[in-house]
Amino acid sequence: MHVRQCDGNRLEIHFHLGDNRSRTWVLIRTAQGIRLQHDHRHEDGSEDEVTLYGATTDQPNTGHAQHFPADDNSRQFFETNGLAPSVDNTWTLKIFPRSASPTSCATPNATSK
């Protein structure tokens, strides 16, 4: 992971999963808290079918973690796109001095196949 853009109220964090460089977290400071969006792209830079879902923080900063429960728009998006197990996702961003854990994602309705 690396920060690619940081200005004023917007931070973009890019993730590399092996050769896959299609994932970016966009964090935006709003009056309600911090907004998290997942920006997924194809190799040519075009948007993936599943992109720009996310959430806004649901509680004050703990000092080391921010929690982002899926918002209504994301829940509807997941339902419409056949991703029903994701409707109750909560993403957590943990930051400690000189160390960052980009996320944990709780998916209460996930089933294994």
Q: Residue 113 pLDDT > 70, yes or no? A: no
Q: Which of 99, 81, 8 is nearest to 38 (CA)?
A: 81
Domain segments of the chain: what residues?
2-106
pTM surpassing 0.85? Answer: no
Residue-wise pLDDT for 14-53, tens only, equals: 877 777 777 888 999 988 889 999 998 888 889 988 889 9
- The rounded distance, in Å, linking the Cα atoms of 65 and 50 is 26
> What pLDDT, in 10s, does the model give residues 86-100?
999 998 888 777 665
Mean pLDDT of the chain: 81
